[in-house]
Amino acid sequence: MLVWSRTGRAVLLTVFGLVVTIVFVAPIATVVAAALAGSWTGPLPSDLGLANFRQALSGEEAASLSVSLQTALLAGAFALIVGTWAALAAREAPTWCRRLTDAVFHLPVAVPSVAIGLGVLIAFNERPLLLGGSKWIVIVAHAVLVLAYAFSAVSAALDRLDPDYRQAAESLGAGPVRVLCQVTLPLLLPALGAAAGLAIALSMGELGATIMVYPATWRTLPVTIFGQTDRGDVFDAAAGTTVLAVVTLVALVLLGKVRGRAALR
């Protein structure tokens, strides 16, 4: 908007395109090319094929993908329920309590995920909450990490919500539970869909906290990819990364459709 000449706009768009290509497109394209490659000794990959993808969709990597999906769905559902409840409760609380709740729920975002993983490992590795060595400690760690985003999305939607809907329902004799179930929550469905999508996407790619707490029987796909890269199996890791990205994108598209239908209603 600040550039008026055609030449200036062309230069600006060219620079922007180069930055986007170098920063975003090139790394993704390189990963996809490596996933298709059988070898890469020159400037371009060679022996292209789908062997790496067949490996990524079978055996240990397929099991890891299933673990990632289950973890993301469970952690996302837990974060959505708790985050929505906290946002609704904080809305009716005094200002100081609302600020304290906001700070507590955003604390996991302010510290490294490795610190969250270590904290969860220490907190849930003794009785009466002994979760160490089970899948639940991974799910708890993911839920803690994505809870802030679910809380933020619902809180922002509540701030934008027109109070006239609630007041109209109350004036017609609707009780708090009925107002919540038939007015507030339906109006929050688009925000809930966005929060769920963000929580699942973040959980699918989470590594820092997971690597601190995961047991051998519950290994997510990012942990498996990290192990492959550490062993030098770059092509297998690239195929696993591509599969992870595609599955996450499909999940987001499906949730986006649900969110769109909720918005239309």
- pLDDT per residue over 32-77, tens digit each? 888 888 888 877 788 888 888 888 888 888 899 999 999 999 999 9
Q: Where in the chain is the domain with CATH 1.10.3720.10?
A: 60-263
**pLDDT at 241 (0 to 100):** 92
Q: What does CATH list as the number for 60-263?
A: 1.10.3720.10
Q: What CA–CA distance (Å, rounded) separates 18 from 12?
A: 10
pLDDT of amino acid 244: 92
pLDDT at residue 45, as a whole number = 81
Q: Which amino acid is at 47?
A: D
Which residues does the chain have with pLDDT short of 50? none
Q: Which among 108, 87, 131 is positioned nearest to 203, based on CA atoms?
A: 108
